[in-house]
Amino acid sequence: MPERTASLTAHRDAVERLIRSYAAIPKGTPPRLAKRTTNLFRFRAPTAAAGLPVRDLDRVLEVDPETRTAEVQGMTTYERLVAATLPYGLMPYVVPQLKTITLGGAVTGLGIESTSFKDGLPHESVEEMEILTGDGRVVVARPDNEHADLFRAFPNSYGTLGYALRLRIGLAPVKPYVRLTHIRFTDADKCMLALQEICERGEHDDGPADFVDGTFFGPDEMYLTVGTFADRAPYTSDYTGMRIYYRSIRSRTRDWLTVHGYLWRWDTDWFWCSRAFGVQHPLVRALVPRRWLRSDVYRRLVGIDRRLGITARADRWLGRPPRETVIQDIEVPVERGAEFLEFFHRQVGMTPVWMCPLKTTRHWPLYPLAPGRLYVNFGFWGMVPLPPGRQDGYYNRLIEETVHRLDGHKSLYSTSYYDREEFWRLYNGDAYWPVKRAYDPEGRLLDLYEKCVRAR
């Protein structure tokens, strides 16, 4: 196949350039990926880190509809990956919500979506990874070869063991449309019980539950949304223009989307976070080009705001109390979900909150959720006024303490406040350090604690 041969040749050339760039970085200078976009929320002061060229590692190399697999470069966004697989009637088993999340980022970090209750997390459908390790080697890691320890430890390592250059992933079949059913609850306990039942049965009412997530608007208003694949649809809604998806949840019991529209239903308004930029106001929205209504545009605006301190200065000028940024995704067991919602609403008070069930299929040492146990991911993203006398970090520390008291875990893509000993206990330092020493013995890459907690 000439196209595959050309793609693999271009991939090998890009890898060789990356290896040379990595080798040229002086010892003691930390490397970083020179990516155009990021979905991390660890804002840092500029450093002397050396950028690694990865712009030629952002392609889908091959989609094989017979084996239902894809060969994908590590910096490929899910937007590009989905565009390559949908024409074959296929999609990645888990498609994180935002278009510019990369496959390598989701695997080395943590991605989740409404198929996670049955298909786990993105790394669980990975069959093979080609990785540039901290000591400058390129290795191919699989669950059954000599690099199986790296394969298992790579998820949740956040680039501290190496960088994914190429991945082979499994793909799931799709149908053209998704029928949505929004189910309202006025009691969190009943909502969590229903969520558990739907996920365990894998069905709801008269059809399979192909997708399940939920939205919490308040203690007496929350919704579970069940999506079911369909071959036909009586109509399809479009939430890429004037209409806003999360608002439709409160006003519609049934809805229909194309599968493409469903996969990116959250991206147009960055869930609900676009309201901070005024683009949910009808007059403003009518003037903003559709190509700007997407998560990476909003993320860049947040970066500019943090760099220039615009919001903080405006709060001071207007006499408002200082606010803390609370951007987190956490998981707690489903039986503790109502307890977490009660705590969060009482102590933090931010709404809406995203709810996404997940169940890992096997043990992954750096993010030790119990395999086969149903958890609920709660996602919340915004700013909260600090109580008098409290300093920045108050809410995030409180959330961390509560999550682990409820036998849960939190993702490390945003700010964390753990002390070193607690961190390595929670994120399995006993499993991490042997792999770190084997693949980065000189410590050219930051370790997981230094990168995810200290470097902020």
Q: What is the DSSP string of 147-197?
A: THHHHHH-TT-TTSSEEEEEEEEEEEE--SEEEEEEEEES-HHHHHHHHHH
- The average confidence (pLDDT) of the chain is 92
Four-residue CA torsion sign, 163, 167, 170, 175: positive
140 and 162 co-located in one domain? yes
**Per-residue pLDDT at 269 exceeds 80:** yes
Q: What pLDDT does 301 receive?
A: 87
Choose the final residue of a domain: 136, 155, 174: 174
Confirm if 424 and 449 have CB atoms less than 8 A apart.
yes
Of 148-152, 163-167, 292-296, 399-403, the poorest mean pLDDT is in: 292-296
Q: What pLDDT does 166 receive?
A: 97
- Look at residue 29 and give its three-state secondary structure: coil
Contact residues for 425 (Cβ-Cβ < 8 A; gap 6+): none
438: in domain:
no
Between CA 406 and CA 411 the distance in angstroms is 15
Q: Which of 196, 209, 225, 220 is nearest to 335 (CA)?
A: 196
Please count the structural domains in the chain.
3
CATH of the domain at 138: 3.30.465.10
**Per-residue pLDDT at 34 exceeds 90:** no
316: in domain:
yes
8 and 155 co-located in one domain? yes
Q: What pLDDT does 47 receive?
A: 54
Cis peptide bond upstream of 352, omega within 30: yes
Four-residue CA torsion sign, 335, 221, 190, 200: negative
19 and 55 co-located in one domain? yes
User: 38-93 pLDDT, tens per residue?
Assistant: 655 554 555 556 678 788 899 999 999 999 999 999 999 999 999 999 999 999 99
186 and 167 co-located in one domain? no
Between CA 73 and CA 62 the distance in angstroms is 10
Q: What is the DSSP string of 99-127?
A: TT-BHHHHHHTT---TTHHHH--GGGGEE
Paired tokens of 252: 């519609």
Choose the final residue of a domain: 265, 296, 321: 265
77 and 98 co-located in one domain? yes
User: 410-421 pLDDT, tens per residue?
Assistant: 999 888 999 999
User: 120-133 pLDDT, tens per residue?
Assistant: 999 999 999 999 99
CATH of the domain at 383: 3.30.70
Per-residue pLDDT band at 37 (split at 50, 70, 90): low
340 or 4, which is more confident? 340
Confirm if 21 and 280 have CB atoms less than 8 A apart.
no
Between CA 242 and CA 283 the distance in angstroms is 10
88 and 144 co-located in one domain? yes
Four-residue CA torsion sign, 255, 261, 266, 269: negative
348: in domain:
yes
120 and 241 co-located in one domain? no
Q: What pLDDT does 39 receive?
A: 52
- Look at residue 294 and give its three-state secondary structure: coil
Q: What pLDDT does 28 receive?
A: 79
Which residues are bridge partners to 50 per DSSP? Answer: 31
User: 180-209 pLDDT, tens per residue?
Assistant: 999 999 999 999 999 999 999 999 987 899
Choose the final residue of a domain: 124, 153, 174: 174
160 and 241 co-located in one domain? no
The domain of 360 spans: 309-417
Residue type, 129: M
Confirm if 412 and 109 have CB atoms less than 8 A apart.
yes
Q: What is the DSSP string of 304-332?
A: HHHHHTHHHHHHHHTTPPPEEEEEEEEEE
Of 161-170, 282-291, 309-318, 321-330, the poorest mean pLDDT is in: 309-318
**Per-residue pLDDT at 354 exceeds 70:** yes
Per-residue pLDDT band at 152 (split at 50, 70, 90): very high
198: in domain:
yes
422: in domain:
no
156 and 12 co-located in one domain? yes
- Look at residue 88 and give its three-state secondary structure: helix
61: in domain:
yes
Between CA 58 and CA 77 the distance in angstroms is 7
User: 248-260 pLDDT, tens per residue?
Assistant: 999 999 999 999 9
Burial of 87 (0-12, 13-18, 19+ CB in 10 A): exposed
Per-residue pLDDT band at 368 (split at 50, 70, 90): confident
Which residues are bridge partners to 255 per DSSP? Answer: 180
92 and 36 co-located in one domain? yes
221 and 330 co-located in one domain? no
Confirm if 25 and 31 have CB atoms less than 8 A apart.
yes
Between CA 343 and CA 105 the distance in angstroms is 31
**Per-residue pLDDT at 118 exceeds 60:** yes
Between CA 59 and CA 76 the distance in angstroms is 5
For 65, phi then psi, to 5°, come to: -70, -20
Contact residues for 247 (Cβ-Cβ < 8 A; gap 6+): none
Helix (H) or strand (E) holding 403: helix 394-405
The pTM of the whole model exceeds 0.85: yes
423: in domain:
no
Per-residue pLDDT band at 105 (split at 50, 70, 90): very high
291: in domain:
no
Q: What average pLDDT does the segment 155-170 reach?
A: 96
Q: What pLDDT does 437 receive?
A: 97
Between CA 135 and CA 435 the distance in angstroms is 12
169 and 193 co-located in one domain? no
Q: What pLDDT does 288 receive?
A: 94
